[in-house]
Amino acid sequence: MAFDFTKMHGIGNDYVLVDAFTTPRLASSARLATLARRISDRHTGVGADGLILVCQPTSQGRRAGAHARMRMFNADGSEAEMCGNGVRLVAKFAFDQLRIRSNPMRIETGAGVLPIAYTTSAGKLTTATVDMGEPQLDPQRVPADLSHAAPSLARASRRDVIARTEHPFISLIRTDIGWLSTTFVGMGNPHAVIFVDRPPIASSIAKLPLNLDELDLARLGPALERHDAFPNRANIHFARSLSPSRVQMRTWERGSGITLACGTGACAVVVAGVLTGALKRTARADLPGGTLRIRWDPDTNHIAMTGPATEVYRGSWPG
């Protein structure tokens, strides 16, 4: 199947976007998972963290006021519910190429319809603020499987993959390098946040380097993504609080591997930082690809994420 595409990125988190809005048959192909793997390959394809189809809203989405819909496939072909950087790119595609001018724009995702306010320059969308909704902290809604969770680290047995702590939002997950202090956050997709500067609570807690560049993310990421604690796999984030209003992070993204940025992940990291006393509700998240501004509103409980959306080039996929 031949079609035109646009390569875009949000602070280095790059995607191939395809217009299934004016050509709806593209969204109904049975080979989208295969296409995502082929087109995302950085040696034999376009090269990206995944494939995004910009589609017409569903009937349910239209009732909620959606102007367009996002379907997102990771580089491994798995379909994801949401992508914070990706949804900004969808808004840019809708403004720049589909001429949708509503501001805020409402984009339907697997996590619901999200309002996006944006700014423009020279007739192009440049920066967007996404209302990411409320974080999910109930483990069942993340989801995180606590069926084999010990009531404490001291009472954990070999079969327990999670141990509880006295802190309501810190759990310990068992790994081959020791237990990791982890906070589970749902942002329409599942996240596990590990602060490397969190004080150890027991000698069996794994010691991680404070310098995030020294983390062996290529080894830790795959094992944690598919850890028994996560029935739908999870996005894994290692973070370090540089100040109450600034956090540094690195990401292993579910289905894509090491990425330069993760928008939903930055939201999850700030939420985890607030819940554990490391961060304020308004914080700057520094990722390898750039910076996102995150605000967790105490009145609405909604999270606002602000960042750029950049077009790289346009091309044609031969099919």
Q: Which residues are catalytic?
A: 83, 262
To 10 degrees, what angle do helices 84-96 and 263-275 make? Answer: 140
Q: How far is CA 237 from CA 184, 231, 242, 256, in A?
A: 11, 17, 15, 13
Cis peptide before 143 (omega within 30 of 0): yes
How far apart are alpha carbons 93 and 95 in whole angstroms? 5
Q: How far is CA 119 from CA 6, 46, 116, 125, 302, in A?
A: 20, 28, 10, 6, 21
How far apart are alpha carbons 142 and 232 in whole angstroms? 9
